């Protein structure tokens, strides 16, 4: 309950920041436009987040006849979690990873990479699937998607305003004058990223804990996280997209210095430490 409240507060802060940027750039009209745009973006994210994430990662549906053992494992975990069976997808990515998407448990999907199936043993794969079901059960996939959309929109809005909005009438357009422009262009995007990262990191800890509860074997997920982390530092992804890094169980771009510095995930070491504590 406390974790869900924290996610709600962080998402509210991100939405409020988006409205503040609109107001600082365009006054009352800018505020109304930002509010309208926020509602539209959240609506699009709600109805189409799964289609966008799956198509961008070149995920294809996989049938039960193609992967009977994988379906059996997923079905057993769903029964424990009291969840409907999500749609199952596979991506042609050689590095091991996975993600969950969808607006609610009844409209959800789990995607695994080809590399994941080739790299992990049964207990490790079970831990990864349980982690993704944890995101679905905790209903945080939609929150993470909206956070990514809003954070990106704040950056885009400030860049657009700076380059195309013109500076001659800035004092008249913005109730905060040039100070408002400075805050909007430089401070707001960084604050949006920090809030987005806080949302993403909170949800990973919770999904890890849910996975350990579902499998009764936290060591399986611990071993899987270790392997995926090592691959991320030694193998460049083929298909996975940086824009969706917050959705993956392990950030596949964490081998890059800047990605590590601004990671959407808590460190694997901290995640393993928390798993072994429970």
pLDDT in tens, 13-68: 777 877 877 777 777 787 788 788 777 776 776 677 778 788 888 999 999 999 99
d(CA 203, CA 199): 6
In the residue annotation, 132 being an active-site residue is answered as yes
User: pLDDT tens-digit profile of 212-235?
Assistant: 999 999 999 999 999 998 888 777
Catalytic option among 93, 124, 126, 132: 132
In the chain, where the domains are located = 2-277
d(CA 197, CA 143): 12
Global confidence as pTM: 0.74
d(CA 214, CA 50): 24
């Amino acid at each position: 309950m406390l974790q869900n409240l924290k996610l709600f507060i962080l998402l509210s802060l991100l939405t409020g920041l988006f409205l503040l940027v609109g107001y600082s750039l365009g006054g009352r009209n800018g505020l109304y436009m930002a509010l309208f745009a926020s509602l539209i973006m959240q609506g699009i994210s709600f109805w189409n987040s799964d289609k966008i994430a799956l198509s961008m990662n070149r995920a294809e549906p996989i049938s039960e006849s193609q992967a009977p053992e994988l379906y059996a494992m997923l079905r057993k975990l769903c029964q424990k979690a009291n969840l409907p069976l999500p749609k199952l997808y596979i991506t042609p990515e050689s590095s091991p990873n996975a993600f969950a998407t969808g607006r609610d448990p009844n409209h959800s999907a789990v995607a695994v990479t080809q590399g994941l199936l080739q790299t992990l043993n049964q207990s490790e794969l079970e831990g990864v699937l349980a982690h993704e079901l944890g995101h679905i059960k905790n209903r945080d996939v939609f929150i993470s998607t909206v956070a990514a959309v809003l954070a990106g929109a704040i950056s885009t809005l400030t860049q657009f305003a700076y380059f195309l909005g013109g500076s001659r009438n800035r004092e008249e357009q913005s109730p905060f004058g040039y100070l408002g422009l400075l805050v909007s262009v430089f401070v707001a995007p960084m604050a949006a990223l920090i809030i987005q990262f806080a949302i993403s990191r909170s949800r990973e800890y919770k999904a890890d804990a849910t996975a350990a509860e579902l499998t009764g074997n936290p060591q399986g997920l611990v071993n899987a996280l270790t392997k995926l982390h090592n691959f991320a530092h030694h193998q460049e992804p083929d298909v996975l997209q940086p824009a969706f890094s917050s959705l993956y169980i392990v950030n596949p771009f964490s081998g890059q210095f800047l990605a590590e510095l601004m990671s959407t995930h808590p460190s694997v070491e901290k995640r393993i430490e928390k798993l072994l504590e429970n």
